[in-house]
Structure 1
Amino acid sequence: MKNPTLAGLSLLLTCAAFPGMAQKLYTSEWESGILEKKTKVGVWEYFSYTPSKRQVVVQRYDHTANKLVYYRPISETYYNIEVRPGQWTRRLVDQPPLYIGGDPALANYTTKLNYPSAAQERNIQGRVIISFTLDTLGHATNHKVLRGIGGGCDEEAMRVARTIPDQWIPARVGPRAVPVEYELPLTFRLAAP
């Protein structure tokens, strides 16, 4: 976790460096960057944790230029990509599709699941997988339930997946963006009594 004293010092230095401007350094456990009138500007860093609990930068995104500056490579993952209109093939991509802010930012939306009462009454638990297409501009379309568990969970997972803002960075093969099918798991787990 970031040192609050250092964050306060950074804020003080930022305000001193830009007197009269409504800019301030915002730092949390998951992100750090400059806010100008409550809008992210310049290059922001986004963090995650390794299995050994070490904080690492997973993305640097320039919100002024709307451009990915850096991402921490993840394990090789195959995606269904559209090679020609309507023709899909499974292959590795040079850059995977990324959500701006990384998994912690995406998790912010996936935790908004409302557990359906029918599923609770029937003790239904498990993982629903929603699939959708991310186009070359990072827009999500064609949402569908790839694997469901019933009890209203599938519909709830679909509702949440459709509310995720279009803040995706498209996948790339070489220098060009390519449409991919993205799979989003959403877990329904009952609290232990």
Structure 2
Amino acid sequence: MEKGQKKGVWEYFGYTATGQQVVVQRYDHDKNKLIFFREVPYATYFTEVKPGEWRYMQPDQPPMFVGGAGVLGYHMAQLVYPQEAQERALQGKVTVTIQLDTLGHVAGYRLTQRVGRSCDEEAMRVARAIPQTWVPARMGSHAVAVEYELPFNFSMKKR
């Protein structure tokens, strides 16, 4: 770290289904370049294959949050269950779909699954607060725009 900024090559770790700790990403913060990523299970994304033409596809390299799913999960965990929703016993999953452009920037946010106004607003607040440190999806040697879903779960704790 230098003046609060990450410098050099960083390795980010995650866990396999069996609990083994593994490197999930190696990222050069000086060059803003992904050096290595651990393959993820088959996943399709709504992908812009030509300007204005979108299809569900599996990119050769999926979109990734720098630091991996664990770091993204940390940011998503900043969710605060709204008091109004708790009083009304609102529960469920809110999905915020973000559109990532070919540079890895978030080009838009939209609610694609809703629970209720206060939960929807809280999920959108958290999604917008997530740092824009994304690596774009790639098809071959070209970066492609994709839509990425961020699921937020609101559930009442059982007593």
1:165 to 116, 128, 131: 131
1:177 to 2:143 alignment:
yes
- Structure 1: how far apart are the matches of 2:27 and 2:21? 17
Shift of 1:149: 1.1
- Structure 2: how far apart are the matches of 1:192 and 1:48? 29
SS in 1 for 2:71: helix
Encode CA deviations 1:65-121: one digit per residue, 9 max, x unaligned: 110000000011111111223221111100000000001111121111111112101
Shift of 1:151: 4.8
- Bigger relative CO (Cα 8 Å, ≥ 6 apart): 2
Letter of the structure 2 residue corresponding to residue 137 of structure 1: L
SS in 2 for 1:142: strand
Tell me the residue number matched to 1:111.
77
TM-score of the superposition, structure 2-length normalised?
0.95
Letter of the structure 2 residue corresponding to residue 192 of structure 1: K
Tell me the residue number matched to 1:145.
111
Encode CA deviations 1:23-79: one digit per residue, 9 max, x unaligned: xxxxxxxxxxxx234321111000111122111110000011110000000011111
Shift of 1:163: 1.1
- Equivalent pairs: percent with the same residue? 50
Aligned-pair RMSD on alpha carbons? 1.2
Deviating above 6 A after TM superposition, structure 1's stretches of 4 or more consecutive aligned residues are: none
SS in 2 for 1:185: strand
- Structure 2: how far apart are the matches of 1:38 and 1:156? 28
- Structure 1: how far apart are the matches of 2:3 and 2:59? 37
- Structure 2: how far apart are the matches of 1:182 and 1:112? 19
SS in 2 for 1:123: coil
Q: What is the correspondence of 1:24-173 to structure 2 with a 5 Å cutoff?
A: 35-173=1-139
- Structure 2: how far apart are the matches of 1:84 and 1:93? 14
